Amino acid sequence: MSTRRIIPEVDDVDTLCCFLRLPQVISMCLAFSLVASMGNERGAVGNWCLAIWCLCFTVTVFISMYECFYYDRILPFFWYKLPITYACYATLFCLLTSIMYPIFYVQYLPYGPSRDRAIAASAFSCIACVLYAIDVAYTWKHYKFKNIPCYVHTLPGLLKILESAVACHLRLHQQHLPVPAPAGPEVTVLSFLLYVSAMVLWPLYQFDEKLGGQPHWYTDTSCIDELTDYGCVWDQRLAVAILTAINLLMYVADLVYWTRQVL
């Protein structure tokens, strides 16, 4: 059954979403093309951002083509959940890459064509983030979800998206931190405990000089000498601490929600 037959307001929403698809695709295409043209100078952070932008470009093209060729004929009842879920993830990923790429890599590039390309790629990532956010906000505001239940439109659904998105970015900066996939209340409790332990142990061993850490930015040679493949390592460690704290807060909110549901 087509969602058009279920919800009259869907046409206006689809018109705007389809209108946003083209600038989304163009922004992502330009972002990853600019970074790809840097060759070996893009670094590990650049490679990771490149993969994110390529993924967003590919999925947006797929959704656009599917809607253009099959929407009126064989659109499944559950199809709508995929675009809105993807738009939420794309918004978060583009936001995080737009922040982290300039802070942890671009600022350390020497002035020249590569730096200009990296700055332009960051700008297009910001534009794509805004476009995906408009897609999500407009859909939530004008689309009626009563007849089509959508998990993304609930508080637990939003928390799961935020938790998993931040966890993916933690993977970029540190492979050894616990980043469990969010699931039900039992896993939320386990995740909360793991993040609490990480929030305590990570700063101690990374920033406490007595335990072999580096308490100051200027003590890390990767931050003041020639640009390394991973940029400033101290900044990367600080990013891990910040992202861990953010995800811990989200797991606390998730745990509180499930506790209230049980009680």
Per residue in 220-250, pLDDT (tens digit) is 776 665 555 556 777 778 888 888 888 888 8
A 10 A CB-CB count for 113 gives 10
Question: Which domains does the chain carry?
Answer: 10-143 (1.20.140), 153-262 (no CATH)
A 10 A CB-CB count for 208 gives 12
Residue 72, Cβ density class (10 Å: 0-12 exposed, 13-18 middle, ≥19 buried): exposed
Concatenated DSSP letters for 194-212? HHHHHHHHHHHHHH-GGGT
Concatenated DSSP letters for 161-187? HHHHHHHHHHHHH-TTS--PPP-SHHH
pTM: 0.76
Range scoring the smallest mean pLDDT among 25-29, 32-36, 219-223, 242-246: 219-223
**Each residue of 80-111: pLDDT tens digit?**
677 888 888 899 899 989 988 888 788 778 88
Alpha-carbon gap, residue 114 to 91, rounded angstroms: 26
Tokens of 61: 């093209």
CA 87 to each of CA 60, 64, 129, 221: distance values in angstroms, whole numbers, following the listed order = 9, 12, 9, 39
**Each residue of 36-77: pLDDT tens digit?**
888 776 667 788 889 999 999 999 998 888 777 765 555 555
